[in-house]
Amino acid sequence: MGDQVKLVLAGVLSALLTCGMYEQVFNIEPNKCDMTYMYQLPQYIPIKLPSHVVERFPYYSLYAYGEGRYSESLKKGLYTGIPVLFIPGNSGSHKQVRSLASVAFRKALDDETDFHFNFFTVDINEELGAFYGPVLEKQTEFVAIVVNRILELYTNATVIPKSVILVGHSMGGMVARAVYTLDTVAASKVSLIITLATPHTRPVLVLDQYLEQFYEKVNTYWIMERSLDLKDVVLVSIGGARNDVQVPTSHTITPLADVATTTTNVPSCWMTTDHQAIVWCRQLVLAIVRALFDCVDPNTLRLTTSRKLITDVFEYHLSKRITGKRYKSSFYSPTIELNKEGDWNEIVKRQHTHIAQTTPSRTYLMIPLNPGHQLYHEAAIVATNLDNKHWVAACNANYVHKGNRICLTGENLSNYTKKLKGKMKTVELDLESLGATGHTHIIVSIPATDERVEIAIDVHSKTGRQRTIDVPAFFRSFIQTLIVDTTPQKALSYNVTLRGLEDMWQSFKLILRPRSACATENVPMAKMYLPWVQKEFYLQNSGPGVSYIAEIDIPRLDDNSSSSIQFILNPACTYSILIQGSFVGVFRRLVWLYGSQIPSYCAAHLLLTLAKQLRTIGIDGYCPSFFSSMLTLSPLAIVPFIKISSIILKNFDVSDDIIIMNNNGEELAILPILLFLGTLPLSLATGAATWGLVLLSGNAAHTFVLKVLGHSLGGRDVIADLAVSGLSRVPIVVGVALISLAYSSCGTLALLLAGIFYFIKVFKLYEDYIERILLGLIPGTSGGESSTDRALSRVHFNMTIMMLVFVVVILNMPTLIIWSRLVSNNLPLTEDPTLSVTVTLLVTLCFLWQKKLPKTDRKYYKVVSWVIHFMACITLLFGSIHIYRVPYFVTGALVLLAVHQTLAPRASNDDSDDEDDEQDHDTPSRSSHPFMAEIGRENGSNTEGIHSEVTTPGSDTGTSQSTAGSASE
């Protein structure tokens, strides 16, 4: 019953994780970005590099971007602009520069500025830097050379630039940061770096040690030098938010950045982008280009040397812009002159909406502060279609004009304005503090206009527009819980503080349900404030109704504050606010956070299955099937060890992957149990698919190999068959050949061929099993149940080992892809991170490919099984994040198995040398174990016991006779 419950739970968790993966990858918001268009034919002008650079980097190149007639001057080498270098990311093209370059080129023409930008781009052969670490060092060296080469192009220019702006997409951003680690590039040569969807904190997938070393080197250098050599360097990081399923927001937000934001927070953008769209999204490109133009010193026509100014400019354009498209429009005069001849209206009500289809003359709305009044603590004002920059002020109404008390000047409060979607803006004011300084009124200034203007005012007490709640416990959270029954009449905003929303895996839906019929296009809106990073994030409407998904994308470390959500409401409506946990959302977040650990858990399943098979061999002398062994696995066999070991290692200052997740705010106590059970059906399905391939494709693979060998041997299939049979009997020949191939080409290629050879071997073992069954049906033949059992045992044993070999192949597949792309360019694979694992595993396979394995008469099966069990635990402890370590642990387990099968002493002193095809020397007699009894044992009988019961046919009473579960030779 316990096993059935476990399997049902595993199936449910697997289904939920599958739904979460679908939600994460496919159920994303529509791409609402506008495309950027080139008005003239874009051209990429190659720039000549020194011969030694070309020789060293034959497939890298440098280009300048040009359009139309301007390209002709670039072809002549006339560079007069401010240099910007674009660095593409993982498998990225140098042509991705065209969006930024074209918009900047067109803006310089339209604005008729005295300066312009020259955009350069590097072609790095579309290398897979996110999956193969060694190319990142090579790219960094090339970019460093290119930076110096670009500055050399301006030797004869009227204005000689002193630095190059770097724009990096994805891994290109890390390459841009890495140039400072080289002595050839001083910090003064690159004073501004803009990164788009770059994983700064750590790689999304740690697939080789070189990638980990690259990140550690770059981040360590930046941490140490941020206040020294890099103190004048400005780093801007922009993430794509929800739609970027490749690089999570938590990886793009780094404390090393001066400006870190997401596309959903960029004024006039307000939308999420996928990993590629972030490069060409017109709304974002415009904001970046405007910031670049504002960073130019009009006196020197170069990029300003003021780090603070550059930071303020990008903060303005990427998060704080209100109305003006230039940074200089962000400055506000301290006071506002008010026109006494204007139309002055004092607002008596605390909630008021002013709507005017046209405004013939300057109009002022006066909001009294009423110091000391218990309901006049705070005020929210939302303006629609109000274009004037200086629009709200505080004043002392001490001037009498036409019988009314008015103000002639006021303290400008417009700098507190926040831009909303569309043509809306809002300001929130503390009336108590303004009243304490001697002010009597808030003034809203409306200029004369023919357009419809709407001003909504909401004055309230401190607690009148907010509520603090504890988020419901996990199982209760999936039922809608009421937060606010009815929002106050004509309320413009409402704040909900969510205590308990602190883990990145949590997902809640906040629902605004109108209490009466009302509709509006622009509101309600919602934004989440995370106090531990002091950032606001606009939330996207999650469906056809008014609902928002509240999730934390930046971990909360050493901070006890709580996140809060502010709703901007339609004053014509009242709402009920409810909260409900998103069940699918939770599993989407789990996939988002921990999906990369699935291969590690599948490898652990296989290692535990092998350990289970070895224990059964030691007890019963028979290897059970892959499925019957895996179905007995339990998370309790591994999770306690992981937890205890992690605590012990932490005391010794050793960082395993569990500790790393805890330090990054990604801890989840039940994660090992959840992933162990949730991925178990995947491992079983993989085993079923492997069995299916053996049954359906094994003969085809064998025939294909025979044809290939037959063609190379002169077309003789008989000779080819003999060659395959010979190689099977002398596996060391195959191993030596594949090791030579690994050194001469790629380790993963050799290992892939070894896996294919193993696949054919398993198929031949299965054929042998079928033949022995058929022989057993013929009277007078030597085939029998014992022989059949041994054949099936070998199939089970080798099937598990073969799957472990293919796990290593799959995890090392990026290196094979890199090698295949290099071969197409006639380039060698200079650094192979898989070579050591491949050679070790190939040497091991030379012993494991022996025909008569497993040798059931060996000692210490139980010891070996527990050591491999321990290796499975270590795999999860140190390979959950560092995936490249998993092949090492798998290889170590197989090395141990090969040593045991080769060197372990026999379990008995019977030295009989009787060996033939039907009775193997290393396989004990199984006459006391009928074949059907073994099948029954596979299907659920106790394989851990020492004895088994069989009924003696000759007994009248059916007395059970005890026979030894493990036979001796």
Q: Which of 626, 749, 632 is nearest to 694 (CA)?
A: 626
Kindly give the pairing relationship between strand 424-430 and strand 441-446.
unpaired
> Distance from CA of residue 38 to its chain's centroid?
32
What secondary structure does DSSP assign to 770-790, as a single string? HHHHHHHTSTT-S--HHHHHH
Q: Which of 142, 141, 168, 340 is nearest to 247 (CA)?
A: 168
Q: Which residues of 546-563 are buried (b: 16+ CB within 10 A; e: fewer)?
A: bbbbbbbbbbbeeeeebb
At 33, is the secondary structure helix, strand, or coil?
A: coil
What secondary structure does DSSP assign to 346-401, as a single string? E--SSEEEEEES-B-S-EEEEEE--TT-TT-SEEEEEEES---S--EEEE---EEE
Tokens found for residue 628: 């019957």
Dihedral of CA 689/694/695/696: which sign? positive
- What local confidence, expressed as pLDDT, does residue 283 receive? 92
Q: How many CB atoms lie within 10 A of CB 544?
A: 6
- What local confidence, expressed as pLDDT, does residue 195 receive? 96
At 262, is the secondary structure helix, strand, or coil?
A: strand
Tokens 């809060």 sit at which residue? 564
Distance CA 62, CA 49 (A): 8
Packing angle, helices 639-651 and 861-879, rounded to 10: 60
At 149, is the secondary structure helix, strand, or coil?
A: helix
- What local confidence, expressed as pLDDT, does residue 664 receive? 84
- Cis peptide leading into 854, omega within 30 of 0? yes
Distance CA 691, CA 698 (A): 10
Q: How buried is 358 (Cβ within 10 angstroms: 0-12 exposed, 13-18 middle, 19+ buried)?
A: exposed
CB–CB of 404/356 below 8 Å?
A: no
Tokens 């030597």 sit at which residue? 782
* DSSP structural state of residue 36: P
Tokens 């907010």 sit at which residue? 466
Distance CA 214, CA 958 (A): 71
Question: Residue 375: how many CA atoms within 13 Å on its side-chain side?
Answer: 7
Distance CA 229, CA 569 (A): 48
Q: How far apart are the first and last CA of the chain?
A: 38
Tokens found for residue 660: 């790393």
C-alpha dihedral, 664 to 669 to 672 to 674, nearest 10°? -110
Distance CA 416, CA 412 (A): 9
Distance CA 926, CA 70 (A): 86
- φ, ψ at 64 (rounded to 5°): -110, 140
Tokens 């720039």 sit at which residue? 47
- What local confidence, expressed as pLDDT, does residue 324 receive? 77
- What local confidence, expressed as pLDDT, does residue 836 receive? 92
CB–CB of 633/609 below 8 Å?
A: yes
CB–CB of 234/307 below 8 Å?
A: yes
CB–CB of 324/386 below 8 Å?
A: no
Counting as low any pLDDT under 70, the low residues of the chain are 1-2, 519-523, 542-545, 697-730, 774-786, 908-969
Distance CA 633, CA 628 (A): 9
- What local confidence, expressed as pLDDT, does residue 650 receive? 85
Tell me: the pLDDT tens digits for 59-75?
A: 899 999 998 888 888 88
Question: Residue 947: how many CA atoms within 13 Å on its side-chain side?
Answer: 7
Integer angstrom CA distances of residue 39 from 300, 305, 428:
30, 33, 43
- φ, ψ at 229 (rounded to 5°): -65, -30
At 491, is the secondary structure helix, strand, or coil?
A: coil
Distance CA 104, CA 289 (A): 6
Distance CA 163, CA 192 (A): 9
At 757, is the secondary structure helix, strand, or coil?
A: helix
Tokens found for residue 658: 């569990």
Give the DSSP H/E element, type plus range, for residue 858. none
CB–CB of 909/857 below 8 Å?
A: no
Give the DSSP H/E element, type plus range, for residue 576. strand 575-581
CB–CB of 779/574 below 8 Å?
A: no
Q: Which residues pair with 87 in a beta bridge?
A: 168
- What local confidence, expressed as pLDDT, does residue 105 receive? 92
Q: Give the length of the chain.
A: 969
CB–CB of 327/312 below 8 Å?
A: yes
